[in-house]
Amino acid sequence: MTDDPLRYDTWIEDALRSVIRRTLDFAAENGLPGEHHFYITFRTDADGIEVPAYLKAENPEELTIVLQHQFEELVVNEDAMWVTLRFNGNPERLRIPFGAVLSFADPSVNFGLQLKMSGEPEGDMEFDATQAQNFEAGTATPAQDANMPPGASGTPGKKKAKGTGEVIALDAFRKK
């Protein structure tokens, strides 16, 4: 599909990233309403990422953060987000380009998006449904626990979300 001038796959990815951007922009301006909170998984080795060296060393490929109660200075622009989170009690400023985001979920409303990283060749990304099943507030999959650094703030609350969530994977709609 890379030779086709109508790049639906790229346009859909851009549209999904704009949903994430608009959601984070709303949260930056208004705070998180009600029980809303976000799981954001991103590539730590992507261009433009600004993450402390020790976090990159502990998470050389990807990292999942949770924005819920304890985050500060959330700033969003067209290309990236900046947020201050506490790791082991220390505030750390992160810069995450939207092109590095792999998944976004709001368990309070059972909403999730699975993305491929910008510029990633077709077929290199595999969808792992076990990591994307049923995001619920207060629970995390083993993969999320492994990706969450010790002492990371923004831990999910105890209240459980109702129903099951669906993560949208675009690979099923791509021309092979």
pLDDT tens figures, 41-52: 999 999 999 999
pTM above 0.75, yes or no: no
Return the domain boundaries, the chain: 8-156+164-171
CA-to-CA distance for 48 and 99, rounded, in angstroms?
A: 9
Distance CA 51, CA 81 (A): 12
Looking at domain 8-156+164-171, its CATH superfamily turns out to be SspB-like (2.30.30.220)
Instruction: Write b or e for each residue in 140-169: b if 16 or more Cβ atoms lie within 10 A of its Cβ, otherwise e.
Output: bbeebeebbbeebbbebeeeebeeebebeb
Spatial distance between the Cα atoms of 71 and 153, rounded to a whole number of angstroms: 7
Average pLDDT, whole number, for the chain? 74
Instruction: Let me know: does 1 contact 174? Beta carbons within 8 Å.
Output: yes
What average pLDDT does this structure show over 97-122? 81
Q: What are phi and psi of 50, to 5 degrees?
A: -125, 105
Question: Residue 16 in 3-state DSSP?
Answer: helix
